[in-house]
Structure 1
């Protein structure tokens, strides 16, 4: 039987590939990002212009120092749901836009090891806020097209929810991340 984290990892790779293919179909080249010498990434894939580079999602699983949430779990004295750990340690990528029946969203990913460290700090802050508000712990992984609304994973159940920042989740979207990701379609803008 396939372990859920392997299935989730395959789903993430497939979704990233689908996004890049849709972008290439529309624009004839890889996605483009503004150059920033202070923010390197394994996603960079050559120069597009004097001000921009091509980029594409790349596997974070085969790097020499694998990404880990051990330090976050120790700091919070909390075990993070395996799906959220798999989600954020599978790919390096720029965020990209997708749609589903419930609206448009932007999936968040670490761009590099340095960005992964920043992501960990943001997750710690989010969990501490949830504890302060005496709410169940959720971990964000996407932004919606509505201000202050995020998509998060319930840390106990692995369910995917919509929540307004600072409030308890209010709309369940899927029983797990793999199921949720299978509902998404890339959105490519001009």
Structure 2
């Protein structure tokens, strides 16, 4: 859990560095953009194969494969991830694609608000998914309000939303491995 928190701190610092660089007129290199994508995928340079970086008007499209699957990112020139897509590798029994912008069906949903109740009403799996998202963000349940968790049984993914300082965050978590697949701050 400490490694994820350190990774989050590194990503946040790196993102702020990139944001600061873009505002001061310095250019973000393709290597910097690739590093953002690799960090998000939790992949080392050695694990990444078939790396491709394509520059567009206001963003980069980064794609690469690892033993776990293939990744594709749309990253703004400010270093902020706008979209991500993941396909599990051929070694897995199923292949799934998850894109940040696709809506997720809500099959099972439970909600709790911090200020209304100090105890949560989530089942064990939902709590595990919520804790994965919060740990990935360096937070705890007491830090946030309006936590919702829903499971899309077709894709086997949880969608978790919460509010921190009047900012809503939505994250997607794999229901089998409890790996955070995406996080969107609105």
Bin for the TM-score computed over the shorter chain: under 0.3
TM-score by length of 1: 0.24
**Greater helix proportion:** 1
- Give the number of the structure with larger relative contact order, counting CA–CA contacts within 8 Å between residues 6 or more apart: 1
TM-score by length of 2: 0.25
